[in-house]
Every structure is written in C-alpha cells, then in structure tokens.
Chains A and B, each alone.
Chain A
Amino acid sequence: MLKSFKRFYSNFFAPCLSLGLSLGLGLSVWMLPVQPALACLSCGCGGTGSSADLGAIGGAASLFSGSSKWLIQSGVSFRQYTGSFNERGQWNPMPEESLMQGYQALLGVLYFPSPESSIGLQLPLQGNLLSGAAWGAFGSVAPTDRANVFGAGLSDLQFQGSYKFLEYENAALAAWGNLSLPTGQVNPSLPEWTTGAGLATASAGLLGLYKPNFDWEFFLNLGYSRALGEPATTLSPFFVGQSLLYQLQANFQFLPRWHLGLGLNGQWGAWSAGSSGFQPAAKLKLVPSLQYEFDRYQGVRMAVGIDLPLAGYNAQTDYALYLIYYQFIE
C-alpha cells in the first residue's frame, strides 16, 4: 500500500514538519493557560533544509494560542550534507573533494480564528551550493565534475491548519494537516536550481503535549504523509512519498527565560523501487536546542540537527543549524 517516497521528504519535509509542529506546539505551550510564562518552545529542527525546513509552523501553534490572533515567524537554516545510507543500511560519506550545502530562509504567517484552531501559510526560499556532488537516486549522493555551482529560488509553498480537540490541566492533544504545493523548481540537469519537490504533498497527524511540572515538558508527534503523485526515483532529487513521521521532544527550563531542548526526530517510509518493490526510507535526527524568550510574545531559538549513523535507509545525512525568531501579535 505504500507509495513512492520522496527523498526530499526524508531529508527536508518530515523533519521540518516536525520542527514546525513542535515549534508551534512549543509556542502553544508557552501560551498554555495553565502556566503560560513558564513553558518552553519545543524544538523539532530535524529538517534537512527544504522549504518546509522551518515550515509547517502553523501546525500546532494554534493548540494553545490564547488571546493572540497572529503568529509571525522567520528563520534561517544552514545544512551541510555528510553522506547517505543505502538500502542495506550502510552509510557512505560524501564523494571525495565534494561539498553540498543548503541555505534556507522562511517567513511564516499564522492566523488563529479561534483559540482552538489555526490556519497558516509559509513562504520559503531555498539555495543550494553543490561542488563535485549532487543529489542522486534513492537518497544517494552522486559525484559530479561540476565545481561550485549555486542556485536559489522559491521553494514549495505550505498551507497548514490545526485543531485542538482535547485539553487538560497539564496535557493537550491536537490534529494537524499540511498541504505542500510544488512551487519550487525541479531541474535534473542543473540540480543546484532544484528548490522543490516537484509535486504536491499532503500530510496529517496528531500532536500531544504533557507538562508534568514547572520545568519540564514533553511532546509526542505522529504524522503521516504522502505525495499526490509518484515521481520517478531517478528523476527528482527530492522524493516525497508515503511515510510515517515521529518526534519525541523534551524541554527543560534551566534559568528564567532560558530553555534547553532535546529532540529525536525521524521518519519511516517507503518508496516504489520499480520491480524491486518497495524499499524503506528512514533516518533519525538528534536535535539539541536553546531558546531565549525576550518577553511573553517573542523570542529566538537556535538548534542543531545531527543525523544519527543508525537506523537509516535510502536517505542522505547532514548537519544543520537553525535560527528562528517568533512573535505573537494580539
């Protein structure tokens, strides 16, 4: 039943979605009526650098929007690719004397029609610097003889919505949905100019929060995504397909206004591999983060994403750095 999986998804979208959702959740937690000023942002910066990397912001933010009507977020991210897993789970480093980097910028606007719901839109930009390597099929990295080529442009536009349907004194549960539109370019001949998935992707999931005491909070996010179409595994460098997303996140307030976070983001999916049937596409990312709140309405967060050298299949790996600024508007 599984459909083709898009590598871009594994590297970019899933973790980003997690990021966005968790970010949103974190924000929402921050605004929990229970202890609004004491909560911390969740960090799901597991993304690898797509348009959605800092995206899907809207997802869960509306869970606990409180009295705010708008949430504006902007951020930048940097990604350094480190290698790839093959279908046997073997990890290979980047081709010798090669470099692949991704730069991303994103502006997200979220509107809260009610305290329980949200709708959002994200405008992402994506830049790629490739030198001696490019995206290959099945999540691989392919060596090239092209040096220092750079391309940038609009990436895939994201629409999101969420609804909080359960809320208790120290826990909450919300459903979210996301639609990614193929507004980015796909250019197999000049891969540095590829900034999008090449087809629409829909995803949905559930996000839960548990906050046992003043200092700690925990999130669990489970989602499902599938592409609205089936790209060839050899055509697009960014494959979007059917996949399960998961995220576990813990945050701890160690000083007033300062929060440390640790997230484990991953996805488990599959893509169609021709006559070979379906193959797994998976990876796991560890995301430590640090957040500072200027005041009740705004703050910044820095996070580092590290792909773990285990439980990976048909996926690229990277290190990533994220910087995000958020602001609620009444």
Chain B
Amino acid sequence: MKKLLLFCVCLGLLASCQTSPAAFPSVQASSSALPAPFATIQVGKSPHGMAAAQGFVYNANSGENTVSVIDSRSNKVVKTLTLPQGKPGYLKAFHSETHVLLLNPEAGLLHVIDSKQDHALLYSLQVGQGPDKVVVSADDKKAWVSLTGEAAVTELDFSAGLAQAPVLRKLNVGKGSSDGHGHRALAVGLQWLAVPNPGDNDLSLFQSAGTERKVKAGNSPSVLALLNWEGADQVLAIGNNASNTISFHDIAKNNTTTLSETFMAPTEMAVVAESKRLFVTLSGSNEVAAFDAAQQKLLGRIKTGLRPVHIYLAPALMATKHEGHDHGAELWVANDSGDSVTVIDSETLAVKRTLAVGKGHHKMAFAGNQVYVSNITDGTVSVLKRE
C-alpha cells in the first residue's frame, strides 16, 4: 500500500508539468476599438527595422534576407532588395537622406544603399561582430556602429563622400554581452558618444578628441540619450534596465545622480532638444516618463498601451516647420503587445491619439504626413496619417 501511494504521488508530480498555458491571462490587449490604419502593406517575413529617405520607406525583413522599399506616394512595395548573406537589421537614413545605412548582424556587415540610384546596394563593409545600432554625427559625415559581440564601437568616416568606402576605425569600449546577442544601444551628441557595456555593467563615454570616460550607473544600463544645449553636450541620461531606475550623468562635473523613484523597465529614450525634455518608455508599467533634463526632475508619467518599447520624436510637418521650434512636438510610442501606437504632445504631456496597428514588435519611420509602423508578427507595415 505504501509503495502504491508513493508511485501515485510520483506519477502525479510528473503529470503536473503538463499544465496548459491557455488557462492563464494573456498580455495581448485588443486594439479593435481604435482607429484603423490608413493602409496596411504586406512585406516580407518579420519586418522590423525602418527608415525613410527621399520619399521611400525601407523596411528590414529580419526573418529573411530582404529589404522592402515602399513608395510613400503610392504606399506600395516598389522594390525588394536581397542581401547576398545574412539578414537585415537596423536601418538609418544618412547624408541628407540620400543614402540609407543598413546593418546586417549575422554577417557583421554594414550595407550602404543609394536612395537616388534606384535603391542600389552601393557596397558592404565588415564592421565587426553583431552590429546592432548606428548613429550619425550632426554634420552627417560620420557614423558609429555598436557591436554586441565585441568590446568595440566601429567608427566610419565618410568625409570623402559616399561614393567610396569610408575610413573605418574601432574604438575600444567595455564588453558586450557574453553571448554576443541582445542589443547594445548607442547615443551621439555634439562632442560625445556613449555606449553601454553589458558585460561590464557600465557605460563608455567618448569625446571626439579621444577622451574616454567610464560611467557607472545602476544595473544593466541599457538605454541612453545625450542632451545638449548652449552648444555642448550637458547630460547623459541612462535607463538602468535591471535596477528599474533612471540616472543622469553631468558631463561637465563628471558625476552621476540616480533618481530615487523607480521606473519599471526603461526601454528607449527620445529627446526634445529645445525644451530639454527627455521621454523614456517604461515597458514594465506601460508608461512614458517625461523629465526635465536640465533639472533632472520627473515631470510626469503618461499612460500608454501595453508594452511601450520604441519611442520617436516625429519630425515637424511642413505646415509647422516655419515656426522653427519643436514646442508641441509629437512623440510616437509603439506599444508592442497593445497592437497600437500612442501619440503624445511633448509640451502638455497629453495623449493626443491612440491608433491601431498590426501585431508584434514595432518600429516606425516618418515620410511626409504619414507614419509607417512595422508589425513583426503580422509581416505587414501599417500606414498612419498624421494630423
């Protein structure tokens, strides 16, 4: 009898591992009540990276080796670029939007696409292991690429023009992630470049003159932004993902202050330069936190959809460009699990609109008065109209 009881208990405990996940609540929220996209464009597998240049929108299909080129006038895919190896990742418009830089994490390449020459792939460069993000200098002549698989950032100097390959230089920084995966952010200011070092749990701050500084903040400093005013970089804002905190590093004083409040899973940052405001998506609490960077003070928290990850400062529309400032600029927030986009007024901190998009992780690109949102699960790009 005792042995039978023992056997039954063992059997029961083994069976307990078969619990059905369907019985538990889902994080997916319905977006059916929201205004539908203006158009939905079918693209390739797992569309992710986005960039706009010369009236075209480039979408990296990260599940295959293609890039879809969408004409913003017709909202149709007019060309599909095929990479000879690897898969496309991050995209960035460059050189007054005449070119697009495309990272290829698998192959360790940076591709240069000429937007004015029928989107031709001009050349490809080996930039290092796991290229993840690319930023460009204010003068549009240099680009830097963060590497997840190396303790380095690759600098590309295009001063001689884009017709020829740039001068490459590797800047030694701290360790990337130990498995070479994950993401590695990158921020550029007027004089400084900042990159987190996941393997060292700190950040590297570079000056164009060659000065390097290590900055310690909280745990897993993974998102950052450089804020400048009066012609100089002033503050490095840091989101400490594991600590759920926000730190501000005063560049001139070389000291770091971490706010006492907690901010659940800071995920990405956007800066409104003129008002010195910093906006941070908090994907753990479904909010965007707004800060006065000069005062290093929280201004407010704005509720978004479910899992806000990427945040974009929308370029000024033609009708408002003449005003010459970015007060009232819009922040567009992609809610990854909410299948929606939240539009925030950067001045009033009010939610202006919430719009439905497709399913999955989202990125955005802006072309004219239209916003293009990639939907990684659906294999589509949603087109939204700006107001």
Interface residues of A (CB under 8 A from B): 72, 74-76, 86-88, 90, 92, 95-99, 101, 103, 105-107, 125-127, 129, 131-132, 136-150, 152, 188-189, 232-235, 273-276, 279, 297-298, 314, 325, 327
In the complex, are the beta carbons of B25 and A86 less than 8 A apart? no
A327 partner residues in chain B, CB cutoff 8 A: 2, 5-6
Instruction: Report if B59 contacts A (CB, 8 A).
Output: no
In the complex, are the beta carbons of A95 and B285 less than 8 A apart? yes
Instruction: Report if B55 contacts A (CB, 8 A).
Output: no
Q: CB-CB contacts of B299-317 with A at 8 A, as 1s and 0s?
A: 0000000110100000000
Instruction: Report if B27 contacts A (CB, 8 A).
Output: yes
In the complex, are the beta carbons of A92 and B220 less than 8 A apart? no
B216 partner residues in chain A, CB cutoff 8 A: 275-276
CA distance A147 to B360 in the complex (A): 11
Which of these, B10, B264, B307, contacts A92 with CB under 8 Å? B264
In the complex, are the beta carbons of B265 and A274 less than 8 A apart? no
B19 partner residues in chain A, CB cutoff 8 A: 103, 127, 129, 150
Q: A138-B219, A142-B265, A273-B219 are in contact. List 4 more A-B contacts (CB 8 A).
A: A86-B218, A103-B17, A129-B19, A273-B201
**Minimal beta-carbon separation of B2 from chain A (angstroms):** 6
**Minimal beta-carbon separation of B103 from chain A (angstroms):** 19
Contact segment of B74-82, B116-124, B176-184, B271-279: B176-184
Instruction: Report if B92 contacts A (CB, 8 A).
Output: no
Instruction: Report if B45 contacts A (CB, 8 A).
Output: no
A144 partner residues in chain B, CB cutoff 8 A: 307
Known: A92-B244, A325-B5. A275 touches B13 (CB 8 A): no
A143 partner residues in chain B, CB cutoff 8 A: 264-265, 283-284, 307
CA distance A274 to B10 in the complex (A): 43
Which of these, A95, A127, A279, contacts B284 with CB under 8 Å? A95
B9 partner residues in chain A, CB cutoff 8 A: 74-75, 325
Contact segment of B155-163, B192-200, B366-374: B192-200
Residue of A nearest to B214 (CB): A275
In the complex, are the beta carbons of B175 and A147 less than 8 A apart? no
* 21 A-B residue pairings within 8 Å (CB atoms): A74-B10, A75-B13, A76-B12, A76-B13, A88-B243, A88-B245, A96-B306, A99-B25, A103-B16, A131-B24, A140-B242, A143-B265, A143-B283, A148-B24, A148-B26, A150-B20, A235-B177, A273-B201, A273-B219, A275-B197, A297-B2
CA distance A137 to B243 in the complex (A): 9
Instruction: Report if B320 contacts A (CB, 8 A).
Output: no
CA distance A148 to B243 in the complex (A): 25
In the complex, are the beta carbons of A147 and B337 less than 8 A apart? yes
Best-buried of A141, A144, A275 by chain B (most CB within 10 Å): A275
In the complex, are the beta carbons of A145 and B284 less than 8 A apart? no
Known: A86-B262, A152-B17, A232-B199. A131 touches B26 (CB 8 A): yes
Residue of B nearest to A97 (CB): B27
CA distance A98 to B265 in the complex (A): 13
In the complex, are the beta carbons of A92 and B201 less than 8 A apart? no
CA distance A67 to B27 in the complex (A): 54
Q: How many residues of B contact A (CB 8 A)?
A: 58
Instruction: Report if B174 contacts A (CB, 8 A).
Output: yes
Question: DSSP class of A's interface residues: helix, strand, loop or mixed?
Answer: mixed
**Minimal beta-carbon separation of A167 from chain B (angstroms):** 28
Best-buried of B25, B29, B243 by chain A (most CB within 10 Å): B243
A140 partner residues in chain B, CB cutoff 8 A: 219-220, 241-244
Best-buried of A95, A106, A139, A234 by chain B (most CB within 10 Å): A234
A142 partner residues in chain B, CB cutoff 8 A: 241-242, 265
Instruction: Report if B210 contacts A (CB, 8 A).
Output: no
In the complex, are the beta carbons of A149 and B181 less than 8 A apart? no
In the complex, are the beta carbons of A137 and B241 less than 8 A apart? yes
Residue of B nearest to A149 (CB): B21
In the complex, are the beta carbons of A232 and B178 less than 8 A apart? yes
CA distance A152 to B13 in the complex (A): 13
B29 partner residues in chain A, CB cutoff 8 A: 97
**Minimal beta-carbon separation of B347 from chain A (angstroms):** 27
Instruction: Report if B132 contacts A (CB, 8 A).
Output: no
Instruction: Report if B209 contacts A (CB, 8 A).
Output: no
In the complex, are the beta carbons of B219 and A97 less than 8 A apart? no
**Minimal beta-carbon separation of A315 from chain B (angstroms):** 12
CA distance A74 to B3 in the complex (A): 12
**Minimal beta-carbon separation of B177 from chain A (angstroms):** 5
**Minimal beta-carbon separation of B220 from chain A (angstroms):** 5
**Minimal beta-carbon separation of B289 from chain A (angstroms):** 14
A234 partner residues in chain B, CB cutoff 8 A: 177-178, 182, 198-199, 220
Residue of A nearest to B244 (CB): A92
Closest 8 CB pairs of A and B: A105-B13, A132-B27, A232-B178, A274-B201, A274-B200, A95-B284, A145-B336, A140-B242
Which of these, A96, A127, A325, contacts B17 with CB under 8 Å? A127
CA distance A314 to B31 in the complex (A): 36
A125 partner residues in chain B, CB cutoff 8 A: 13-14, 17
CA distance A273 to B264 in the complex (A): 20
In the complex, are the beta carbons of B242 and A137 less than 8 A apart? yes
CA distance A95 to B281 in the complex (A): 13
A87 partner residues in chain B, CB cutoff 8 A: 218-219, 243
In the complex, are the beta carbons of B262 and A148 less than 8 A apart? no
Instruction: Report if B363 contacts A (CB, 8 A).
Output: no
Instruction: Report if B104 contacts A (CB, 8 A).
Output: no
**Minimal beta-carbon separation of A282 from chain B (angstroms):** 15
Instruction: Report if B33 contacts A (CB, 8 A).
Output: no
In the complex, are the beta carbons of A274 and B6 less than 8 A apart? no
Q: CB-CB contacts of B220-237 with A at 8 A, as 1s and 0s?
A: 100000000000000000
CA distance A107 to B6 in the complex (A): 10
Known: A92-B262, A96-B285, A148-B22. A137 touches B174 (CB 8 A): no
CA distance A210 to B107 in the complex (A): 64
